[in-house]
Amino acid sequence: MDELKVFAPATVANLSCGFDVLGCCLDNVGDEMIIRKNDLGKLRITKITGQDLPMEIDKNVAGVAVIALLEALESNQGFDIEIHKKIKAGSGIGSSAASSAGAVFAVNKILGEPFSNKELIAFAMQGELLASGNAHADNVAPALLGGFSLVRSYDPLEIISLPVPDDLRFVILHPLIEIKTRDSRSIIKQSVSLKQAIHQWGNLGAFVSALYSSDYELLGRSLTDEIVEPIRSILIPYFDELDKISLENGALGFGISGSGPSVFALCKGESNALKVKNAIQEFYENKDIDFELHLSEINKKGVKIV
Ligand code: HSE
């Protein structure tokens, strides 16, 4: 096998209660990438469509992730990378993570899978470091593993896959304004009070427990964030109204997707998700902001060959 085409999924990081440690993989939103071996002993980005992104390998997140993988193998194998972006940069649904995860997944497969998908996370994190100045794993882990991922520890890196209750659906609203992760990280406070920490770890523990017991109501109650959301939500047009509309229409919970501006409503069942999606659409259509709206199941596989 010398060439592979992959679907590289979008992801929702943080999920309110798990800043930098919790993420989930979406099903029908994502990029396509084509990776093929070349005989030049060189890594090249040969084509990018859909977004204006750097073609230089050391400035492109897919490039640096693959460099990290090839260095670990001490390999000089060359590859050509084509990236067809459907996820917009600065959207909050893991655009850079999709590129990094898709690239290392495909290169690893072509090389005969020297690494497990879990081991690829550390290489894909190099893409996040380039994109945002911080090597967080809460987008690349679910992109590579599917489902929900929890980062128990960054040093050493330990990622735990969590169960996916069958009826969960995400409604994602992406107001078409760009918020760079780097910028939205820079406005967060670097310390939290003990009271805030207690609130946060209680909810994170409850969220994980609710995934195991498929307790949808508890999942919803756990989606709170007193640390990051109050600051970041200021950048998101009509955040409070969207929160209210989602809950009034029966969503389990509502929050910021990753570093925003996308927001998510977590719903139980397709019909409730459709109701929430329609209510959000009706509200946002009257505003002066272009937007994209997605309804997605949870993708249990992560990056896949297409
Ligand atoms: N945990 C990261 C952040 C995710 O919120 O900055 C970025 O998508």
pLDDT at 127: 98
| CB distance 303 to 10 below 8 Å | no
**Token couple for 125:** 């994190």
CA of 179 to the centre of ligand 1 (A): 11
Q: Which atom of ligand 1 is nearest to the CA of 19?
A: 1
Identify the residue whose C-alpha is closest to ligand 1 atom 4: 258
Distance 78 CA to ligand 1 centre (A): 31
Which regions of the chain carry the CATH code 3.30.70.890? 168-296
* Structure confidence at residue 178 (pLDDT): 87
Q: Residue 266 has what pLDDT?
A: 98
How many Å lie between the centroid of ligand 1 and the Cα of residue 20? Answer: 6
pLDDT in tens, the chain (306 residues): 899 999 999 999 999 999 999 999 999 999 999 999 999 999 999 999 999 999 999 999 999 999 999 999 999 999 999 999 999 999 999 999 999 999 999 999 999 999 999 999 999 999 999 999 999 999 999 999 999 999 999 999 999 999 999 999 999 999 999 889 899 999 999 999 999 999 999 999 999 999 999 999 999 999 999 999 999 999 999 999 999 999 999 999 999 999 999 999 999 999 999 999 999 999 999 999 999 999 999 999 999 999
Instruction: Check if 20 has its Cβ closer than 6 Å to any atom of ligand 1.
Output: yes
Q: Which of 259, 262, 263 for a ligand 1 pocket mutation test, highest count of atoms within 8 Å of Cβ?
A: 259
Q: Is 14 in the pocket of ligand 1 (CB under 6 A)?
A: yes
Domain span(s) for CATH 3.30.230.10 in the chain: 3-162+301-305
Residues in a beta bridge with 253: 266
Phi, psi of 236 (to 5 degrees): -105, 115
First to last CA, the chain: 14
Binding site membership of 117 for ligand 1 (Cβ less than 6 Å):
no
226 lines ligand 1 (CB under 6 A): no
Q: Is 180 in the pocket of ligand 1 (CB under 6 A)?
A: no
The three-state DSSP-derived secondary structure of 15-69 is CCCCCCCEEEEEEEEEEEEEEEEECCCCEEEEEEECCCCCCCCCCCHHHHHHHHH
- For atom 7 of ligand 1, the residue with the nearest CA is 258
Instruction: Round to whole Å and give the CA distance between 1 and 36.
Output: 9
Quick check: is 56 catalytic? no
Contact status, residue 273 vs residue 295, Cβ threshold 8 Å: yes
pLDDT at 1: 85
Whether the CB of 135 sits within 6 Å of ligand 1: no
Could you confirm whether 128 is annotated as catalytic? yes
| CATH 1.10.1660.10 is held by the domain 3-162+301-305 | no
Nearest partner of 123 among 58, 79, 180, 71, judged by Cα: 71
Residue to mutate, 17, 185, 225, 233, ligand 1, most ligand atoms under 8 Å from C-beta: 185
Say if domain 168-296 classifies as CATH 3.30.70.890: yes
Task: Tell me which residue has tokens 């690893």.
Answer: 108
Question: What per-residue confidence (pLDDT) applies to 137?
Answer: 98
Q: Whose CA is nearest to atom 1 of ligand 1?
A: 20
* Ligand 1 atom 6, closest CA: 259
